[in-house]
Amino acid sequence: MLPTLVGQAKSEGLVNALAEHLEETKEHAARLEPVFRAVGAEPSSNFSPPVEKLAEHHDELASSFTDDRLADVFHAAAAATTEHHELAAYEALLRLGGMLDIGDARELLEHNRDEEARALERLESELDRLVGALAAQRH
């Protein structure tokens, strides 16, 4: 979803926030592999059905905006929604991890979770900025 949003967003601030999180995300899969091994599972690269649906829904509506700034609000909101979803998944995994002895894998999960949380904060601040600019233009 992030590469699509990077291509669609027009605002420099939003593009940078998305592109930087895209780079971070490339490290996430590598950090998750030892977590799988810590619980005796094989890593796999299945897509997440909820995120796939979010991306599908976003793509259906994305072309209906005639105002680039309003479209950017839509893109930022879609990205923030995905980050909320990821963050909730990491929080649940960390709670489960607290029950199991996953050793150093916990730090890897926390590292990913912290990057998701910072990405969400940044996207929400971009969302505020984009909505603020739209509101200022209306008055």
Per CB under 5 A, 116 contacts Fe ion: yes
Considering only the C-alpha atoms of the chain, give the largest distance between any 2 of them, rounded to a whole number of Å: 59
8 Å CB contact between 76 and 127: yes
8 Å CB contact between 18 and 7: no
- Tell me whether residue 72 or residue 86 sits nearer to Fe ion (CB atom): 86
Q: Which of residues 2-61 bind Fe ion (CB under 5 A)?
A: none
Q: Which of residues 119-138 bind Fe ion (CB under 5 A)?
A: none
Write down the least CB distance from residue 25 to Fe ion, Å.
6
Q: Judged by CB under 5 A, which of 9, 86, 126, 127 binds Fe ion?
A: 86
Task: Pick the stretch among 38-46, 47-55, 56-64, 112-120 that binds Fe ion (CB under 5 A).
Answer: 112-120
Write down the least CB distance from residue 114 to Fe ion, Å.
11
Kindly give the residue spans of alpha helices, DSSP state H, lying in 1-139.
2-8, 12-38, 49-62, 68-99, 105-138
- Tell me whether residue 33 or residue 101 sits nearer to Fe ion (CB atom): 33
End-to-end Cα spacing for the chain: 34
3-state secondary structure of 40: coil
Residue 108 CA neighbour count, 13 Å, CB half: 17
- Tell me whether residue 24 or residue 34 sits nearer to Fe ion (CB atom): 24
What are the residues binding Fe ion (CB under 5 A)? 83, 86, 116
